[in-house]
Structure 1
Amino acid sequence: MAPYETDDSAKAGEPDDVRAGRRKASRYVVPVTVVGVAAATIGLVPAFAGSGDPDLPKISAQELVEKIAASDVQQVSGTVKISTDLGLPDLGGLESSLGGAGKPSGSDGGSSADPSSKLLELATGTHTVRVAADGPDKQKLSLLDKASEYSVIHNGDDVWAYDSQSNEVFHSTGAGEAKDHKSGKAAPEDVPATPQKLAEEALKAVDDTTSVTVDGTAQVAGRDAYKLLIKPKASGSTVGAISIAVDSKTGLPLKFTLTPASGGAAVVDAGFTQVDFGKPSASTFDFTPPKGAKVTEGDKAEARGHHDSAAPSGEHFGKDAGKGLEGGGLGKEMEGGGLKTIGEGWNSIAEFDTGGQGVPSGAATGNSDVDGFLSSLGDKVSGKFGSGTVFKTRLINVLITDNGKAYAGAVTKDALVKAANAAK
């Protein structure tokens, strides 16, 4: 059966134009990243807060996916609330134990305003993000804190980032080249901090292992919306469901919520609390470094080894974290790097060699904080493959065997052990 499970789903013998629409829509679907997924996921707000369910015309799942694919919103501004609940333990003093704390800003030649590191803050806790866009060449994203503000502005070929707390500026050029995939750089619209970007990534995983249905309506940020529900058909995945609220008029995703199969709070949720489709003021995208601010040029930072540091891009939050678990994409993109895929769809598992000798245990690291952190994450397991440790979050689990093999995916611990046994 096709993944779109409604009475209006496409049947055999459908017209060519319908099949073409399905192929177009299939470009948008949900990869779940593997190693380092914490850098890519964004968390929890009360699901679909609003003032009742609006009465909207009936729409099929296929039509709603195509509505998202056809959405061409060029001008938008608003506020997005984002949080994360991966179930990770408190890092406590781990950073200082590893020697990372206490460094003065920029002491390693970098900049506190560098988006490649600053935007990782979105991977934990609750945040408020202000966004604005006026076409493909003008975007702004501002991460608001109680006492400071961090902004990334894309205006033409320039990308500026400013950290008000440290009064540092990061500047890069060549954002236009990134659009043609000629550069490692990208602009704020590539950051997975909005329901739209998360939904586009999510829709990339829809295949025959996926159920896609319309789950009623909702009102988000004062807008009437349809709810698209995406769920793995088979058991074994840690992903329970993904719910996307889609604006009924524009097709723009307004809210994205990923709940785990284990239940409880959402792992990933990002939703507009305010949205406006009017043209933002041109001054929104203007930026001049404040007087006295330290300015770091991106090209110079890269020359010191900070490659792609100008890019607050999906590549930092997904590609470098491991590829999507969507069957074809993961295998094709990762096998060249010594990685291969076991299984398909939502139960896909990435197998690779860490190049090491397994995970240090006890006092092997010589650092009690590090050992305690590893112990809090890991469960010792054994099987035909030998023995190893499973590191777990509420979404991604990774088995590292004592001989250095690794198995990672949005699957249960038992599924990882079974994969390791089969691969032995």
Structure 2
Amino acid sequence: MGAAQRSRRWLVPVTAVAVVAGVAALGPVVADASPNLPGISAQDLLAKVQTAKVDGLSGTVTTSLDLGLPAIPGVVGGEDASQFTDLLSGEHTARVAFAGPDKARVSVLDQMAERVLTTDGKTAWIYDSSKREATKIAVPAHTQKPQTTPQNQTYDPQAVAKQFLAAIDPSTKVEVTGTESVGGRDAYKLRLTPKTDKSTVGSVTLAVDSKNWVPLQVTVMPRTGNDPAVQVGFSSVSFAVPSASTFAFTPPSGVKVTEQKVPAAKEPKTLPKKPDATKPAADQPTTVGTAWETVAVLRTGKSGLPSGNQALDQLLKNAPTVQGSWGSGKILTTKMVSALIADDGRVFVGMVTPDALQSAAAKAPR
């Protein structure tokens, strides 16, 4: 497979920086009546999804998040609490455009304000109209490919789908459950169902475009409950390649502009020593378990999580204390995500049950 083909596979939004994407609700994804499409097996549909390629697309993406975050007593609001809770709940929308591996634009709305993240492969911009601030980032030639951030992936159904497709193994039931219309396009419904009872995921359904074979919508159902925990999808979409001007940005008059430059990647003069697998770097996350039972392990140091976020501090204060062979700490649970903050500075996070999370903690190296 050539480099050009690889660059078009799983077209994901690319930007050089991370930004908190708290956006206002403009309505959920609307699916129309079920279209009449030729039959296809789950194996064939899965193969088409995994090899799908597009040169570009644009459209409007809406997300609906209901992770079951508990109420936070004592937190009355403000920007600190709002940014924290906006990431974990509510309905959000964004206008997106992608072209190749290095051109992307994501425009989100926040209470009549606009936030823009865009890059044309040479220059990246971050703009927040509510703060009247913009950051211009020069991306040098031959630099490493900019990293896709979790905030940007929130608005890319293909990137979200790819994360769940990576969990497919013999512990997953894969089936075609029907058809639907998403964003004005006919789609097949491909459902992934974990067979393990240790996962909090009940099922993941991908609405797959019947012509381009890319996911148009992802719906994640929790193991308990009848409402989606996560739904990300296009309310409108075009697969025409956006023009180059789409990714350009000119800050409005009066906006404060800060310029930054990403250092060019340098070739190491000597090969680095092979890391000791039993002693992961302090700042590098590791994992325990596989597929649907995967738990991420982060090491924050003896001081634990950084303080200062009112909402997070209050959640930890009210979280129950647990202990086991792994040590002791606080555990946070929602209907989808569990997090264990150990007193020794380790943090365990996964879409698994609290018991499964503690079992994973017991297996993790210190």
Q: Which TM-score band (shorter chain)?
A: 0.7 to 0.9
**Rounded Cα–Cα distance in structure 2 between residues aligned with 1:137 and 1:339:** 26
Alignment of 1:129 with 2:94, yes or no, is yes
Query: CA offsets, 1:177-223, max 9 Å, x none?
Result: 46xxx255569996441211111222122222222222211111111
1:269 aligns to what SS in structure 2? strand
- Equivalent in the alignment of 2:46: 65
**Rounded Cα–Cα distance in structure 2 between residues aligned with 1:335 and 1:96:** 38
**Rounded Cα–Cα distance in structure 2 between residues aligned with 1:175 and 1:214:** 45
Counterpart of 1:125 in structure 2: which amino acid?
G
- Equivalent in the alignment of 1:356: 302
Paired residues of 1:211 and 1:233 also in contact (CA < 8 A): yes
Counterpart of 1:412 in structure 2: which amino acid?
T
Which has the higher mean CA deviation after the structures are superposed, 129-138 or 263-272?
Answer: 129-138
The 3 A distance-change label for structure 1 pair 404 and 157 is closer
Query: CA offsets, 1:246-288, max 9 Å, x none?
Result: 1000112110111211224322211111112234355433322
1:298 aligns to what SS in structure 2? strand
Correspondence 1:59-98 to 2 at 5 A: 59-90=40-71
The 3 A distance-change label for structure 1 pair 197 and 367 is closer
**Rounded Cα–Cα distance in structure 2 between residues aligned with 1:46 and 1:367:** 29
- Equivalent in the alignment of 1:156: 121
1:152 aligns to what SS in structure 2? strand
Pick aligned residue for 2:316 from 374, 386, 397: 374
* Structure 2: stretches of 5+ with no match in the other structure: 1-5, 11-19, 264-276
Counterpart of 1:64 in structure 2: which amino acid?
L
2:97 aligns to what SS in structure 1? strand
1:45 positional shift: 10
- Equivalent in the alignment of 1:16: none
**Rounded Cα–Cα distance in structure 1 between residues aligned with 2:103 and 2:92:** 23
Which has the higher mean CA deviation after the structures are superposed, 243-252 or 258-267?
Answer: 258-267
**Rounded Cα–Cα distance in structure 2 between residues aligned with 1:340 and 1:196:** 24
Which has the larger helix fraction?
1
Paired residues of 1:172 and 1:298 also in contact (CA < 8 A): yes
Query: CA offsets, 1:227-262, max 9 Å, x none?
Result: 111121111111111111010001121101112112
1:351 positional shift: 5.0
- Equivalent in the alignment of 2:175: 213
Pick aligned residue for 2:37 from 31, 56, 60: 56
Pick aligned residue for 1:169 from 131, 134, 150: 134
**Rounded Cα–Cα distance in structure 2 between residues aligned with 1:40 and 1:150:** 8
2:316 aligns to what SS in structure 1? helix
2:44 aligns to what SS in structure 1? helix
The 3 A distance-change label for structure 1 pair 386 and 229 is same
Counterpart of 2:240 in structure 1: which amino acid?
G
**Rounded Cα–Cα distance in structure 2 between residues aligned with 1:280 and 1:339:** 36
Paired residues of 1:150 and 1:161 also in contact (CA < 8 A): yes
The 3 A distance-change label for structure 1 pair 334 and 297 is farther
The 3 A distance-change label for structure 1 pair 284 and 63 is same
**Rounded Cα–Cα distance in structure 1 between residues aligned with 2:309 and 2:160:** 38
The 3 A distance-change label for structure 1 pair 241 and 253 is same
**Rounded Cα–Cα distance in structure 2 between residues aligned with 1:372 and 1:95:** 11
Pick aligned residue for 1:262 from 203, 207, 224: 224
2:67 aligns to what SS in structure 1? coil
The 3 A distance-change label for structure 1 pair 273 and 153 is same
Paired residues of 2:94 and 2:107 also in contact (CA < 8 A): yes
Correspondence 1:272-421 to 2 at 5 A: 272-299=234-261, 335-337=280-282, 341-350=287-296, 354-356=300-302, 372-376=314-318, 378-383=319-324, 387-402=328-343, 404=345, 406-420=347-361
Query: CA offsets, 1:92-149, max 9 Å, x none?
Result: 875999xx86xxxxxxxxxxxxxxxx99965543211111234444322110234111
**Rounded Cα–Cα distance in structure 1 between residues aligned with 2:49 and 2:242:** 22
Which has the larger strand fraction?
2
Query: CA offsets, 1:65-102, max 9 Å, x none?
Result: 221233222232211111322222455875999xx86x
**Rounded Cα–Cα distance in structure 1 between residues aligned with 2:183 and 2:100:** 22
Counterpart of 1:415 in structure 2: which amino acid?
A
- Equivalent in the alignment of 1:198: 160
- Equivalent in the alignment of 2:272: none
Q: Number of matched residues?
A: 333
Counterpart of 1:408 in structure 2: which amino acid?
V
Counterpart of 2:333 in structure 1: which amino acid?
K
Alignment of 1:233 with 2:195, yes or no, is yes
The 3 A distance-change label for structure 1 pair 255 and 177 is farther
**Rounded Cα–Cα distance in structure 2 between residues aligned with 1:209 and 1:62:** 15
- Equivalent in the alignment of 1:15: none
Paired residues of 2:182 and 2:207 also in contact (CA < 8 A): yes
Paired residues of 1:41 and 1:123 also in contact (CA < 8 A): no
Instruction: Report % sequence identity.
Output: 39
* Structure 1: stretches of 5+ with no match in the other structure: 1-23, 29-38, 102-117, 304-331
Counterpart of 1:70 in structure 2: which amino acid?
T
